[in-house]
Amino acid sequence: MTRHLSLRNKATMGIILTGIIASLIIYDISTPSKSMVDPEPGRLLAQNGRGVIPKCSACHGVNGEGDFKNGIPRLAGLDIGYIEKQLEDFARDPLQTRAYLEPIAKDYTKTPRTYGDLTVFTPGTRTHTLMNKLAKLLTRQDRQNLAVYYSQLKFVAQPIGHDFETLERGEDLALRGKPEYGLPACISCHGPKGEGYGALFPSLAGQPASYIKKQITDWQIGKRDNDNLALMRNIANQLTDGDKEHIAAYYSNQTYSVNTD
Amino acid sequence: MRFIYTSIWLILLILFIAGKNQADTIGQSLDPLEVRPSLVTPRLSLPTKLTQVHVISPGEYFVPPMVANIPDDKFGDMVRLGRNIFVNTQKYASRYVRNGLNCSSCHLQEGRKPHAGPIWAAYGMYPMYRQKKRTVVTYQERIQDCFIYSLDGIAPTLDTPEMKALVSYSKWLSKGAPVGVALPGRGYPHVKRSQDLDPKRGKIVYETRCMMCHSKNGQGQKNTNGKGYMFPPVWGNDSYNKGAGMQRIETLAQFVKGNMPLGAGFTLSDQEALDVAMYIWLQDRPKSPKMTFIMDFFYPNMQH
């Protein structure tokens, strides 16, 4: 009797195991992996351009590594959703942006503005003389292709040295913020090492120091305005010029690599 | 005669009940949200008055010493260990923690931020009487409570290096702060309740203000390396248990009011903070270790 039972148990176990393995295989086939998204159309556009569209690699580097001397940002290894969103925000004409009222905020990636008892939502805008013109030439598919291509490139940062005090102040600001003023730390959203988190929080490590400084300045003067819930605008408004220097120095000093394994 | 009295009483009773029902229905029909269902959602999603932002003047809050100034001696080593435990409890005190939180998930910015339970304001106040324990508790016992309820784990005993390190860090952080004085920014800010709490409004607040980081089902978001949380879970198995202080609606609302969304504290109105606190209070989370079966059955969300 016991032998019968154990045999039956073995058979059941076998069936269950086969089922698990089969479902794993099916799951593996059905889930699209990162490598299955084809970077080729994006690569062609980035390297060669098309018609009046110049090639991206002219400024952003052949491998999307950016230009650290001139403060042109690195694109390699950035989040796919982040690149696509930035291109969309570049393509939106800042002059024609008009505030409009929604009965309920359906797109929560837009920036809320509080005016009395009305919340006005403006679509995110990002002002740059050259990129505004270029992004308008791209189709939606182009933006997706470029995002796919650049998010898969590998990048290794070259840490840049600074004096000790600057780095120490930058670290204090990056890890702890200014608690007595309610200013949160950079790491609380941009990742423990500034590597970025998801499509909303871009990486700070591995970006040129002058680019980071310029972006914070753009937020302060309103040229860049495409953050969620106005989080970054609140933070940028509290940063002094010295803070910008320290933060940029600290993050350009970090070792950082992406897509290298 | 007796029959007549009884019938009069009965009629009065029926009239009273009917009148009460009528009053209830009148009250409901006057409620603008019930009358105009098409306006329910937009009115709830919009703030009804100008948001008052808390402006901080320099010198308003105590400023703890800088991490770079931790002394280079044995005590300094203990302070550094304490800071590591505080910031990364999952790694440095993993044997006492069962959920996915760190000390700094509630005591924001390494226990330094005013209105987020700052350590420098708490250290000098102990030993003190706690209503929750109905006795006078020391600072060490208070830390043990944090481990039992907020970290859903077990209490480190007083002779463990973890406890010594945390007390050392707290003492170093409150260097120069007066003892026994309720400093400004201590605990959480005050929240005033003006109308009944509504989890439906709280859900809308959660989805517009909280969801982008704490995710739709409140489970937070993990770090990219898979260890620990980038954005801590607000309910679910990896969050604080039902015995934690945050399970009190008022305490959670106070925390939300003062600190959330991150970097935009004091932008939610008191009512929004209370509503979203009630919405989070209604969700499922680990059981309280103190909770008995009967209390659990009748008051599933009660903090006690």
pLDDT tens per residue, range B65-90: 999 999 999 999 999 999 999 999 99
Please answer yes or no on whether B230 and A197 come within 8 Å at the CB atom: yes
B82, B133 in Cβ contact below 8 A? no
Q: Homologous superfamily of B69-173 in CATH?
A: Cytochrome c-like domain (1.10.760.10)
A152, A36 in Cβ contact below 8 A? no
Provide the shortest C-alpha distance from residue A191 to chain B (in Å).
7
Please answer yes or no on whether A117 and B114 come within 8 Å at the CB atom: no
User: How many other β-carbons are positioned within 10 Å of the β-carbon of residue B175?
Assistant: 11
pLDDT at B91 over 90: yes
Contacts across the A-B interface (CB distance below 8 Å): 93
DSSP string, B18-29: HHHHHHHHHHHH
Please answer yes or no on whether B263 and A119 come within 8 Å at the CB atom: no
Please tell me whether residues A175 and A79 are part of one structural domain.
yes
CATH 1.10.760.10 fits B35-54+190-298, yes or no: yes
Please answer yes or no on whether A185 and B109 come within 8 Å at the CB atom: yes
What is the total count of domains within chain A?
2
Tell me, what's the pLDDT at B268? 86
Please tell me whether residues A25 and A123 are part of one structural domain.
no
Please tell me whether residues A8 and A66 are part of one structural domain.
no
Please tell me whether residues A216 and A118 are part of one structural domain.
yes
pLDDT grade, residue A224 (50/70/90)? confident
Of A3-12, B17-26, B214-223, B273-282, minimum mean pLDDT range:
B17-26
Please tell me whether residues A158 and A202 are part of one structural domain.
yes
pLDDT at B30 over 60: no
Please tell me whether residues A14 and A47 are part of one structural domain.
no
Average pLDDT score over chain A: 81
| A31 in B contact zone (CB under 8 Å) | no
Tell me, what's the pLDDT at B59? 79
Please tell me whether residues A22 and A62 are part of one structural domain.
no
Q: Where are the beta strands (DSSP E) in chain B?
A: 128-130, 135-137, 221-222, 229-231
Please tell me whether residues A86 and A25 are part of one structural domain.
no
How confident is the model over A43-92, as pLDDT tens digits?
Answer: 999 999 888 999 999 999 999 999 998 999 999 999 999 999 999 989 88
State the Cα–Cα distance between residues B95 and B243, nearest whole angstrom.
20
- Nearest 5 degrees, angle CA A117-CA A121-CA A123? 170
Residue found under tokens 């002779």: B159
State the Cα–Cα distance between residues B239 and B280, nearest whole angstrom.
11
Q: Give the chain A residue nearest B54 (alpha carbons).
A: A182
Q: Give the chain B residue nearest A187 (alpha carbons).
A: B230
**Global model pTM greater than 0.90:** no
- Cis before B289 (ω within 30): no
Residue found under tokens 């350009």: A252
Rounded to two decimals, the ipTM of the complex is 0.76
Residue A45's domain is classified under what CATH number?
Answer: 1.10.760.10
Name the residue ranges covered by the structural domains of chain B: 35-54+190-298, 69-173
DSSP string, A7-46: HHHHHHHHHHHHHHHHHHHHHHHHSPPGGGS--HHHHHHH
- Residue B223 backbone phi and psi in degrees, to 5: -65, 160
DSSP string, A58-94: HHH-TTS--BTTTTBPP-TT--HHHHHHHHHHHHS-T
* Residue B8 DSSP SS3: helix
Please tell me whether residues A11 and A61 are part of one structural domain.
no
Torsion sign over Cα B264, B270, B273, B277: positive
Please tell me whether residues A1 and A117 are part of one structural domain.
no
Residue A204, domain extent: 34-258
When CB atoms are compared, the residue of B42, B47, B110 closest to A176 is B110
When CB atoms are compared, the residue of A188, A191, A197 closest to B262 is A188
How confident is the model over B121-178, as pLDDT tens digits?
Answer: 999 999 999 988 889 999 999 999 999 999 999 999 999 999 999 999 999 999 999 9
User: How many other β-carbons are positioned within 10 Å of the β-carbon of residue B89?
Assistant: 26
